[in-house]
Amino acid sequence: MTNYKGDFLDLLKAQNCQIQLDLPATPAAGGTLSSIQETEGTTVLAVRYKDGVLIGGDRRATAGNVVMYDRAEKLLQIDEHSVLAIAGSPATAYEMARVLEHSFQYFRRSQLQELSLEGKLRTLSRLIRENLPMTLQGIGGVIPIFAIYDLLSDDENGGKIFFYDALGAHFESADFATSGSGSVWIRGILFYQNRWGDKPLADMDEQEATITVLRLLDAAAEYDSATSGYNPKSNIYPTVKTITKDGIHNLSVERLREVYAESVETTYAR
């Protein structure tokens, strides 16, 4: 078969590789809603700062009130300039990220050009929409944030943040986006900080943006049992990445430790 569109999902279907579970949108008559306790992800956030996008995520994965895993990676690099931050079911989210990564590469390799920003966003929309039957069943729902540095942007800062709803609609967020169960606690703080704080997020340098993101993750962990902040017993820090025109950079644990000790653990003296 010749695939003229460079569409990886079509290629997989043509080769009989099923990527999504074929569930009906409603449980069978007489059946019950899922009785499995699914693993879920929790707080991720992205802010547009001076050089691009800074994105952070906690490390906890929970199933009900059980902590399943304390080292979950929720910021998934898709290509050299984009990151998918996941909240929701990791089983679906990791697969989504994998399909996305392979789709972008397949398009570039087969069509001999990079997939456009709009094309990348549409691909993710389609994945989320095709996941709708699962989401309606109450399992496997994913609401991600997609952050990218757009090299073709007219703006001097090509950092862009998009968030999605469960049906796959994407919205561009000018300054920041949050997702996951802990996000309700920090969305308002971000709004406040961006509007009345010392400076707007877009003017912050990497250091300032890192402090903001780590503090907010700490705040989310304070109120949301499914979000972990810094875990001193096992020395686990949240993950933070920057996306700039030079590509994606992971902030090292040493760097996070430094920022954490200087600017997150300190509070007003009493």
Active site positions, annotated: 42
- Which one of residues 28, 66, 112, 269 is an interface residue with other proteins (CB under 8 A)? 112
**Helix or strand or coil: residue 84?**
strand
Nearer to other proteins, 11 or 211 (CB): 11
* Residue closer to other proteins, measured from CB, 5 or 195: 5
Contact, 178 vs 164, CB < 8 A?
Answer: no
CA angle centred on 31, ends 29 and 34, rounded to 5°: 135
23 binds other proteins (CB under 8 A): no
CB 35 within 8 A of CB 64: no
Interface with other proteins, residue 108, by CB under 8 A: yes
Q: How many CB atoms lie within 10 A of CB 209?
A: 25
Residue that is written with structure tokens 């993101």 in the block: 213
Residues 192 and 207: their CA atoms lie apart, in Å, by 19
Does the footprint of other proteins cover residue 20 (CB under 8 A)? no
One residue of 110, 153, 157, 173 binding other proteins per CB under 8 A: 110
Show the DSSP H helices in the chain as ranges: 8-14, 90-111, 117-130, 132-137, 183-196, 206-223, 253-259
Nearer to other proteins, 33 or 112 (CB): 112
Residue ranges in 73-92 that form contacts with other proteins under rule CB under 8 A: 80
For residue 3, state whether it binds other proteins (rule: CB under 8 A).
Answer: yes
Q: Which residues bind other proteins (CB under 8 A)?
A: 1-3, 8, 11-12, 15, 17, 80, 98-99, 102, 105-106, 108-110, 112, 247
